[in-house]
Amino acid sequence: MYRFLVCICAGLFFLSCTKRPVSPSKASRRAIDTLFQKEIIHLQPQFDSLCILMKDSIYPLAVDSILNERREEMNILVK
């Protein structure tokens, strides 16, 4: 019985393969956008809390690297 179910599933899997290009319709794009927006809204508090936790360690490094790049650009212009 188990082998029979596995064979049917494998057969359906191989029959579902197609070589034609699949382009999303307007309805599917809208559904994808809606699901994406819902997931982003759901995850936003977690992202915010991570930003708050990491702000003290990452922000100074980012500022320093930006300042170093600008100094290098200024030195190139001066030379």
- Is residue 60 one of the residues assigned to a domain? yes
Residue 44 lies in a domain: yes
Q: How many domains would you assign to the chain?
A: 1
Summarised one tens digit per residue, pLDDT across range 60-69 is 888 888 999 9
Residue 25 included in any domain = no
What are 38-66's pLDDT values in tens digits?
999 999 999 888 888 887 888 888 888 89
- Overall pTM surpassing 0.85 (yes/no): no
Rounded Cα distance between 70 and 59, Å, is: 17
> Can you list the positions of beta strands (E) in the chain?
none
Q: Which pair of structure tokens corresponds to residue 15? A: 């029959």
> Is residue 65 domain-resident?
yes
In terms of residue numbers, what domain contains 63? 31-79
Domain presence at residue 24: no
- The reply to whether 38 falls in a domain is yes
pLDDT at res. 75: 93
